[in-house]
Amino acid sequence: MRYRVLSDGARDYVFGRGSSELLTDSPSTVAQAVLTRLLLAQGEWFLDTEEGTPYSTQILGAGTLPLYDQAIKERILGTLGVLRIVEYASVLDDQRNLNVAVTLDTIYGTVTVQTSL
């Protein structure tokens, strides 16, 4: 499994650094895949508008509290290399940022992914 590294702040792919810009066959590779899948909103990719995280229907807005954790977990579990979720926590802060921390068992070992959606 190979994945291109994302830049720290912009969450954009890094180019021009040779092999140091690739993650290969490691827990970090799966973590990158999970993060990339979570950041893709459903309908955003023109080749498959069904692909993506269902922000507009299951995560954002009033009345989604019972839905959004399950939608995020399903998206994570559908990622290549993820075996199971060991721990999961989400907190909706005062600025309406959804902070997610998840520990995963992957085909390469255990990894923790933290992000703000």
| Residue 55 amino acid letter | Y
Q: Are strands 109-116 and 98-106 parallel, antiparallel or unpaired?
A: antiparallel
pLDDT at 96 over 90: no
Tens of pLDDT, residue by residue over 34-73, are 999 999 999 998 999 999 999 888 888 777 777 889 999 9
Rounded CA gap, 68 and 60, in Å?
Answer: 8
The model carries a pTM of: 0.85
Are the C-beta atoms of residues 53 and 69 closer than 8 Å to each other? Answer: no
Collapsing DSSP to helix, strand or coil, 82 comes out as strand
Please report the domains of the chain, with CATH numbers, ordered by start residue.
Answer: 26-116 (3.10.450.40)
Query: What pLDDT shows up at residue 19?
Result: 57
The pLDDT > 90 percentage for the chain reads 52
| Residues constituting the chain | 117
Q: What is the pLDDT of residue 18?
A: 61
Report the amino acid identity of residue 107. I
Cα–Cα distance between 39 and 10 in angstroms, integer? 12
